[in-house]
Every structure is written in C-alpha cells, then in structure tokens.
Amino acid sequence: MSTPEERLAELGLSVPEVAKPVAVYIPAVRSGNHVFTSGQLPMRSGELMLTGKVGGEVSQEEAVECAQQCALNAIAAVKAEIGDLSLVKRIVKVVAFVASTPDFTGQPLVANGASELFGKAFGDAGVHARSAVGVPVLPLDSPVEVELIVEV
C-alpha cells in the first residue's frame, strides 16, 4: 500500500516546507487524537500564488489551484506536527474560505481543489465534512484559505 506522500508524488506533487505564519500563531496544534491546522494560504516558495477576489481579479480555475496549494500547505503543517502522514486516520473537517466578489457563488467548486487533493492523497481517509465560505477579504489579500481537523 502506498503512503500519502507516494500518492502525491504520482500526481507530480510533494509536501512543501511548512509555510511561515504571517502573524503570532503556529501552523498546527495536536490535542489528543486530533490535529487542528491554522488557516493555510496558497503560499508557494514563500510567496502568495495570487492576490485578489475570486470572480474579479482571480478566476475560478486559478482559485481551485490556490485551494490545492492551501491543501498541500495544510498537509505540511500536519506532517510537521505528527512526523508521518501514514498516521492520519481521517481528514475529519475542511473549512475553505474564499475571498470573492458579491456575485460569485462558486465557493464549493473552489473548495473542491482542496477536497479532491485530500481524497487522492489519503484515499477513503481523505473523505471529509466541509464548509466553503465566501468572505470579503482574507489575510494578505489571498483569494483562498483552508484549515483542517485531522484524526491521527
């Protein structure tokens, strides 16, 4: 059976370094059998992939890619906390925040960028409950932010 990291590699992806927090918090906290991640932005190589609102400066397709990067960054935060992604029993809950124009209603489709990645990386353990929330603005003018609750 392959590991989550091997499944990501098959997709041409890898677990990045943990993104540096943009304020006073830590990327993830373990409490008992659960890991709670802080909201993860679409940081790649230390920079936001895009800025702006989905439905405005950012297309839905670009936002889906941002959500996928947020998911990778959340996976990195979990790995830093537990050491081995094979210890993940289940992705329990995903919350995706989408900074969008008032008329954009595709937040669930944007969040699919993260959800689909968790399914591919963790198989049945990646199937989760989820909220996709439209908001007026996110930190650093990010278009997407994703947080997780993971059972280990």
* Overall domain count for the chain: 1
Concatenating the DSSP letter of every residue in the chain gives: ---HHHHHHHTT----PPPPPSSSS-SEEEETTEEEEPPB--EETTEES--S-BTTTB-HHHHHHHHHHHHHHHHHHHHHHHS-GGG--EEEEEEEEEEB-TT---HHHHHHHHHHHHHHHHGGGG--EEEEEEES--GGG-SEEEEEEEE-
Q: What pLDDT does residue 110 have?
A: 98
User: What's the pLDDT score for residue 20?
Assistant: 83
The per-residue b/e assignment along 40-57, b for 16 or more CB within 10 angstroms, e otherwise, is bbbbbeeebbbebbbbee
What is the CATH classification number for the domain harbouring 16?
A: 3.30.1330.40
State the pLDDT at residue 22: 84
The domain of 16 spans: 4-151
pLDDT in tens, the chain (152 residues): 699 999 999 999 999 999 888 899 999 999 999 999 999 999 999 999 999 999 999 999 999 999 999 999 999 999 999 999 999 999 999 999 999 999 999 999 999 999 999 999 999 999 999 999 999 999 999 999 999 999 99
For 89, phi then psi, to 5°, come to -85, -35
